[in-house]
Structure 1
Amino acid sequence: MKKRIAVLASGRGSNFQAVIEAIAAGRIPATCVALITDNPKAFAIERAGKAGVPVTVLDYTTFASRAEYETALLAAMKKTRADLYVLAGYMRILGPGIVRSFPQKIINIHPALLPSFTGLHGQRQAVEYGVKVSGCTVHFVDENLDCGPIILQKCVPVLQDDDEDALADRILVEEHRCYPEAIRLFCEGRLEITGRTVRIR
């Protein structure tokens, strides 16, 4: 039986596109049942329209407080009845109430090799620190920023003449491979979590 996945995105949605293409190609045993966005101008909305994915727009700027926004977001997420919630360039930190409502059912992709270079601009942090290898990490979301159990990581060399954009472009290629793979493993029931360790069966 196919799993139900919902995607949360704030911007261009290139990882969202990679996921819906993998579903269409039969590489992920799932149906994308919703795109939820906090940004009414997100290009991800156009991608969802072309793929026939229902869209919910919760414009963050129209809410009186973060708490009010999160109440609406939690309701929207529950309404999808998704088995997995995929953060794909979603630029807001989920509050603990939302994370606790969907334990081990929310995943994120981060453009660095966690636990290094958490938060914004992971690629810039890698270049400025002078590391020789960077990459991307798919992880379960917990109540701490970029700290949940790691599912998959892919490495990318940092070249001597790299700037933030050049490294980001190369990491993004791996993100588009890594995220669909991690989602497939989840949907096939092949991820087993023990403490901080995720084992692939």
Structure 2
Amino acid sequence: MRVGVLISGRGSNLASLIEATKVADFPAEIVTVISNKADAGGIAIARNAGIPAEVISHRDYPSREAFDAELDATLRRAGVDLVCNAGFMRILSDGFVDAWRDRQLNIHPSLLPAFKGLHVHERVLEAGCRITGCTVHFVRPAMDEGPIIAQAAVPVIPGDTVDRLADRVLAAEHRLYPMALRLVAEGRTRIVDERVLIDGEDAGAQAPLFVPAGH
């Protein structure tokens, strides 16, 4: 499966996906990386891995729809089958999302549907949660919504700071996103009534990841 990755920042999830695709039996390859910001660290990560990367700045387009049309055209020229949002800080238009329906993934640093949007870790600590985590899901027009493919649970440790919690959740993201991409690329996911069913998995294998305290 030919994957295009959308980024806006440092590219740590991109790096984890690139590392996963180096495994001989991984069923997907990253064929292009697109950033809406010229200073995104992920651009260098992609190019150092030999993956074409380019910048399409949303500031160069008169509307969200015009930017998304160029994004869509660029992905199609690269022969992309599946889009992975990896820290892409843009709300995509309904038209773009519909064009890539069931062919676009996103990762979010909470156990959706809890804590959609920004400043997740601050809100988790303010709410006194004992467990948080991350989610990979198919993209839908509403922000941070869509059928859930996989989740990883991360404990909130007494005395946690936002940075410490964010680091542990990010480590879980780096494990979760490649696993979810593998499931989709192998054709083992089906969406039924907006829920993801995973073929060929026993009950244990379908259980969420749990990241032990301190990891």
Q: Please give the range of the TM-score, normalised by the shorter of the 2 chains.
A: over 0.9
Distance 2:107 2:127 in 1: 21
Q: How does 1:173-192 map to 2 (within 5 A)?
A: 173-192=171-190
Corresponding residue number in structure 2 for 1:28: 26
CA deviations over 1:87-121 (Å, ceiling 9, x no partner): 00000011101011111000000000000000112
Paired residue total: 199
CA deviations over 1:102-142 (Å, ceiling 9, x no partner): 11000000000000000112222111111100000000001
Corresponding residue number in structure 1 for 2:167: 169
1:114 and 2:107 are equivalent in the alignment: no
Alignment-mate amino acid for residue 85 of structure 1: V
Contact conserved, 2:43 with 2:54, CA < 8 A, in 1? no
> Kindly, what percent of the aligned residue pairs are identical?
44
SS in 2 for 1:8: strand
| TM-score, length basis structure 1 | 0.95
| Shift of residue 77, structure 1, vs aligned partner | 2.0
The 10-residue stretch of structure 1 (171-180 or 54-63) with the greater mean CA deviation from structure 2: 54-63
Corresponding residue number in structure 1 for 2:206: none
Alignment-mate amino acid for residue 126 of structure 2: E
Corresponding residue number in structure 2 for 1:131: 129
Contact conserved, 2:64 with 2:92, CA < 8 A, in 1? no
Corresponding residue number in structure 1 for 2:100: 102
SS in 1 for 2:70: helix
Task: Give the aligned CA root-mean-square deviation in angstroms.
Answer: 1.1
| TM-score, length basis structure 2 | 0.89
Corresponding residue number in structure 2 for 1:12: 10
Corresponding residue number in structure 1 for 2:155: 157
Alignment-mate amino acid for residue 164 of structure 1: V
Alignment-mate amino acid for residue 94 of structure 2: P
